[in-house]
Structure 1
Amino acid sequence: MESFKEIYQRACERKLGEQNLRLLISTPLTKQELLSHSDSLWLEAFTKKVFQSGFYWSVINAKWPGFKEVFWQFNIDALLMMSPEQLEEKSQDERIIRNFKKVQTIPHNCYMIYEIAQKHGSFAKFIADWPEDNIISLWAELKKQGARLGGNTGPYALRAMGKDTFILSRDVESYLRAHKIIDGGLQTKKSLTAIQSFFNKLVEESGWSLTALSQLIAYSVGDNYVNVEGNE
C-alpha cells in the first residue's frame, strides 16, 4: 500500500510541479458553512445529480433555470403539497428533461429531506454532523432513504454541496484495484469498508481532507492533462 508521500510525489511530477497540483485541489466547506445550506438547496443538488446521471451534464446545466421555474425553486414546503396530477403535468413541461422516473424522485427526496430535518433540526445539520471517517455509511443512508441516490450520485451531490467525501471515479477505482485495496465489486460492503479504511489512513498521514485526497489520487494516475481537472 502506497504512502501519502509517494502518491503526492507522483501527482506533482505528472502535473509539472507542486504549485500546479495545488491549484487543482479543492477544499470542502467547514461544518459551519454547511449549516447555512437550506433544505431546498439540498433537494436541488440531489435532483440535479439524479438528472445528470447518464446524461450530458452540459445539457442539464443549460436546462436548469427551467427546472427551478417548474419546481418552484425546489421549495420544500410547496413541493410537499404537490398533488400526483401536478407532478405528472410538470413532468411533461418542455422546460425540463421529460423523464418521468427521474421526476418522481423529486417528491420522494423532498419527503426524505423533510423527515430528516424534523429529527435533526435541518437536513444540513444531519449532513454536517456526519463523521467523515465513516462517510460510506452516509452514502448508504442516502441510498436507503432517498430515490436514485446510490452509486456515485449521492457522493457527487455531497461533493457539490461541499461535504467532505471521496469520489469513486474511474481513475480512483483504477488506482484502488491496481494497488489491491479492492478486488471485488466496487459498491460491495467489503470493498467500501476497505476503501474507507485506506482513505482514513491517508487522512491520518497527511491531515488532508477526503476531497483533496480523492482528487490527489485521480491526478496521480490515468490520462494526464496538465493544468486542467482530471476525472473526478
Structure 2
Amino acid sequence: MSAGVGPVVGADDGVPRCPWAGAAPSTMRDYHDAEWGRPVHGESAHLERLTLEAFQSGLSWATILAKRPAFREVFAGFDAERVASYDDRDVERLMADARIVRNRRKIEAARVNAAATVALRADGGLEALVRSHAPAAPPAPATTAEQQTTSAESLALSKELKRRGFVFVGPTTMFALMEAIGVFDPHLVGCHRRGR
C-alpha cells in the first residue's frame, strides 16, 4: 500500500496545502484556501452544496466550480421552493443550457431534492439534519493514503436523506458534502487550513 502524499508546499508562497489544491494560484487553490472545509449556513447554502456534489459525480470539481455561477443562476440561488416548482419545461430549458452540466437525471434530482428540502422543514430542516451526522471522532489524515471517501456517518446521512425522499445522495457524495461544508475538518494534518 502506498504511503500517500502529505501537504505540498507552494513554490510561490511557501504555504503547505492539501495536494489537490495545486502548486500555483488557481481556482482549485482559491477554493481550498477560502471555502473547502468551512461551515456554510442556511437552507439554500446546504441545498446548493448538496446539488453541486450530485452534479460533480463522475466529473472534476474544477468543472463544477467553473460552472457554479451559472448553476446559481438557473437554480434560482438554490431557493428550495422555486426549484421544487420547476416543471418539465424547466427541465428542458436546463437541458438546453450549455453553461451547466446537462444531465437529465441530475437536473431532475435537483428538483426532487428541492421538494424534499421543503418537506424537511417540518422536522428541523436540511442544515440541522446534515449537521446532526457530524462524526464524534473526526478523521485526522496526515497523508492522502489515510483519507477516507466514506464513513459510518456519511452512510447514515445517505440512508436518512433517501428515507426523506432525496436522490443522488450516496455515501461517497455525502462524505464529500460533509468535507466541503465543514461538518468536520477535512484538511490534512500539516495543511495551513487544518484547525482553522
**TM class by smaller structure:** 0.5 to 0.7
The answer (yes or no) to whether the contact 2:81–2:115 under 8 Å persists in 1 is: no
The answer (yes or no) to whether the contact 1:143–1:154 under 8 Å persists in 2 is: no
Tell me, what secondary structure is at the counterpart of 1:79? Answer: helix
**Residue-by-residue CA offset, 1:71-116 (whole Å, 9 max, x unaligned):** 1111112112222222222222122111111111101111222222
Report the alpha carbon displacement of residue 155 of structure 1 after superposing the two structures with TM.
Answer: 1.3
Residue in structure 2 matched with residue 87 of structure 1 by the alignment: 91
Report the alpha carbon displacement of residue 38 of structure 1 after superposing the two structures with TM.
Answer: 1.5
Relative distance call for 1:130 and 1:15 in structure 2 (3 A) is: closer
Relative distance call for 1:23 and 1:55 in structure 2 (3 A) is: closer
Residue in structure 1 matched with residue 129 of structure 2 by the alignment: 126
Relative distance call for 1:65 and 1:15 in structure 2 (3 A) is: closer
The answer (yes or no) to whether the contact 1:139–1:155 under 8 Å persists in 2 is: no
Report the alpha carbon displacement of residue 55 of structure 1 after superposing the two structures with TM.
Answer: 0.9
Residue in structure 2 matched with residue 108 of structure 1 by the alignment: 112
Residue in structure 2 matched with residue 4 of structure 1 by the alignment: none
Q: Which amino acid aligns with 1:123?
A: L
Matched, 1:61 2:65: yes
Tell me, what secondary structure is at the counterpart of 2:101? Answer: coil
Residue in structure 2 matched with residue 150 of structure 1 by the alignment: 170
Residue in structure 2 matched with residue 200 of structure 1 by the alignment: none
Tell me, what secondary structure is at the counterpart of 1:132? Answer: coil
Structure 2 residue aligned with 1:141, among 156, 160, 178? 160
The answer (yes or no) to whether the contact 1:117–1:126 under 8 Å persists in 2 is: no
Gaps of 5+ in 1: 1-9, 165-208, 217-225
Q: Which amino acid aligns with 1:48?
A: L
Relative distance call for 1:38 and 1:108 in structure 2 (3 A) is: same
Report the alpha carbon displacement of residue 39 of structure 1 after superposing the two structures with TM.
Answer: 1.2
Give the whole-Å Cα distance in 2 for the aligned partners of 1:92 and 1:126.
34
TM-score by length of 1: 0.54
Give the whole-Å Cα distance in 2 for the aligned partners of 1:132 and 1:57.
24
Give the whole-Å Cα distance in 1 for the aligned partners of 2:116 and 2:93.
22
TM-score by length of 2: 0.63
Residue in structure 2 matched with residue 3 of structure 1 by the alignment: none
Give the whole-Å Cα distance in 2 for the aligned partners of 1:97 and 1:130.
29
Q: Percent identity?
A: 23
The answer (yes or no) to whether the contact 2:7–2:17 under 8 Å persists in 1 is: no
Q: What are the residue-to-residue correspondences of 1:1-232 with 2, within 5 Å? A: 37-120=41-124, 122-130=125-133, 132-133=135-136, 135=153, 136-144=155-163, 145-164=165-184, 211=186, 215=188
Report the alpha carbon displacement of residue 23 of structure 1 after superposing the two structures with TM.
Answer: 6.5
Relative distance call for 1:123 and 1:15 in structure 2 (3 A) is: closer
